[in-house]
Structure 1
Amino acid sequence: MFSKQQQKYVQSLQIKKYRQEHQRFLVEGAKSVVELLAADFEIELLLCTEKFFIENEKKLKKISVEQISQSELEKLGTLQSNDAALAVVKMRENGFLMADEKEFVLILDDIRDPGNLGTILRIADWYGIKKVVCSLNTVDFYNPKVISASMGSFTRIKAYYSEISKYIENIDKIKNIEIIGTFLSSENVHHFDFPPSGYIVLGNESNGISDEVEKFITKKITIPRFGQAESLNVGIATAVVLDNLKRRE
């Protein structure tokens, strides 16, 4: 039987404080859990329905599995409807990341909305970006809403949380690099000549890139507006910039 103490532990991982304390996070739903099973994360416990177990039994041989009902799954997690599975997973270490030769890394400056971060991860994965550096006040990578919105892409992208100004100072000491930032009025991204590698900075949903980070930007780009919309969602902006990046390759 799945005990009340275990239930309390799993439910606590919805809260950042307890995720950090236990260094564990939740992955919910059939698609995300199936993606997880193919990744290199360490799964502490998998809770699933009988149907999910039967469909994925061969993948579950080396994992601690507990079969429970759909209603129990939904009480433990954050999804309104979950007829498949929920996993308790060990976090990766917050290891330093930097761009390799012919590689771009995204730098996220104060992205607050978990849905936006999850979408950015999904878009980054689509365009082959494998590393994301996040400011300390960017939403938690392991927030259940981020994991859900990423649709499994969290398994293929590594994240590193740091104070952005100090991070850029550190990588700038290692080698000369281009730090490309998105702004409202700068060089048209459709005509911008992207370098072979570097960093692309995306700013806060309301305020854009902070003044503290702006001073490190070496190239400024903008997505030109042709209509009357006030702004673009940061996830959509990420897609536009990365699409233009790939067109230059």
Structure 2
Amino acid sequence: MITIAKLKTLKDRTCVRKCALLFHQMAQQAMRNQEDHLYLLALTGLFGSEQFTAVLNESELARLGLLSAALENEKGKQKAVVCEDIHYLLLQALGSDPSDWDFLDEEGNLDSSQRTIVEHILILDRIRSPYNVGSIFRSADSFGIQKIYLIEGCAAVDHSRTYKTSRGCTKTVEYEILSEEAMLTRLETIQLPLFALETGGTELDLFSFPPKGIAVIGSEELGVSPALLGACEASMGRLTIAQAGTKGSLNVAVAAGIMMHGWFSA
């Protein structure tokens, strides 16, 4: 494990992030009754350092103090629970609170090497909501999407709401932002089967997904633009998700997720 002396030389956020990972490791060791008590004690000694006070607010520091005190009297699984409480408190303070099933690298970021990637590409055609763009990135990470093209006019990938909703997946899925004209030119070069997620097409369970291809997902209000829809009609046409409710359409991110799962499973 990294030495305490080395931790003290790291930048503020890097130090806190590394400590979060170390407490996660300590939780796993505590479950096996193999934790290094002296190392754990030295780690908690960092809580009053300038590195921690620069990152955590007063209430977070107070909570950290209580958890640190609790560690002294716990053993086994209960000690693991407290270590995990510290782990997640530090991640929350950093604004990077992954689910416990996320694959992380040594720096605490999502590990892109864990992804299964297939030759499936998305074009997001002027999707305006950062929440929808972020949600699509998160589904794309899960369902093997190789790359996402965003037509100019989409919500910004680096918008805080996009990143938060993506749960970090804007960092794991390759993307590029293009004008519609540049995208149409690129499609001539790529020469892959092309289809639109739109109403009035072949229902998902009857659609013949291409092993390699591109799906176009249109904006919340207007759907796929005429130019891109025309390119799809000249290729594989439209894919439609059957519905049985009162709404005329699904949320675009929900529909995209259903489509991506169907394509990945096919």
How many residue pairs are counted as aligned between the two chains? 178
Q: 1:230 to 1:46 in 2, by over 3 A?
A: farther
CA distance, structure 2, for counterparts of residue 198 and residue 123 of structure 1: 17
For the pair 1:187 / 2:202, whether they are aligned, the reply is yes
Q: Does structure 1 conserve the Cα–Cα contact (< 8 Å) formed by 2:150 and 2:176?
A: yes
Q: Does structure 2 conserve the Cα–Cα contact (< 8 Å) formed by 1:49 and 1:83?
A: no
Counterpart in 2 of 1:119?
135
Structure showing greater Rg: 2
Relative to its length, the structure with more strand (as a share) is 1
CA-based RMSD of the aligned residues comes to 3.2
Match among 157, 176, 179 for residue 160 of structure 1: 176
Counterpart in 1 of 2:20?
55
Q: 1:54 to 1:102 in 2, by over 3 A?
A: closer
Write the letter of the residue equivalent to 1:110: R
Alignment of 1:127-142 (within 5 A): 127-142=143-158
CA distance, structure 2, for counterparts of residue 102 and residue 49 of structure 1: 33
Q: Does structure 1 conserve the Cα–Cα contact (< 8 Å) formed by 2:15 and 2:51?
A: no
Write the letter of the residue equivalent to 1:242: M
Q: Note the residue ranges of structure 2 that are not aligned, 5 or more in a row.
A: 1-9, 24-49, 61-90, 97-116
CA distance, structure 1, for counterparts of residue 135 and residue 197 of structure 2: 17
Match among 226, 229, 237 for residue 211 of structure 1: 226
Which moves more between the two structures, 116-125 or 213-222?
213-222
Does 1 or 2 have the higher relative contact order (CA < 8 Å, sep 6+)? 1
CA distance, structure 2, for counterparts of residue 158 and residue 49 of structure 1: 25
Match among 131, 148, 171 for residue 187 of structure 2: 171
Deviations 1:129-150 (A, max 9, x none): 1310001110111111111111
Write the letter of the residue equivalent to 1:196: P
Q: Does structure 2 conserve the Cα–Cα contact (< 8 Å) formed by 1:134 and 1:160?
A: yes
CA distance, structure 1, for counterparts of residue 55 and residue 180 of structure 2: 44
In structure 2, the residue corresponding to 1:84 is in which secondary structure?
helix
For the pair 1:237 / 2:255, whether they are aligned, the reply is yes
In structure 1, the residue corresponding to 2:57 is in which secondary structure?
helix
TM-score (structure 2 length as normaliser)? 0.59
Counterpart in 2 of 1:70?
56
Q: 1:185 to 1:109 in 2, by over 3 A?
A: same
CA distance, structure 2, for counterparts of residue 53 and residue 221 of structure 1: 45
State the shift of 1:246 in Å. Answer: 2.1
State the shift of 1:213 in Å. Answer: 1.8
For the pair 1:196 / 2:211, whether they are aligned, the reply is yes
Counterpart in 2 of 1:150?
166
Identity of counterpart residues, as a percentage?
24
Write the letter of the residue equivalent to 1:207: L
Write the letter of the residue equivalent to 2:207: F
In structure 2, the residue corresponding to 1:208 is in which secondary structure?
coil
CA distance, structure 2, for counterparts of residue 69 and residue 139 of structure 1: 29
For the pair 1:105 / 2:125, whether they are aligned, the reply is no
CA distance, structure 2, for counterparts of residue 188 and residue 152 of structure 1: 32
**Superposition misfits of 4+ residues, deviation over 3 angstroms:** 45-53
Relative to its length, the structure with more helix (as a share) is 2
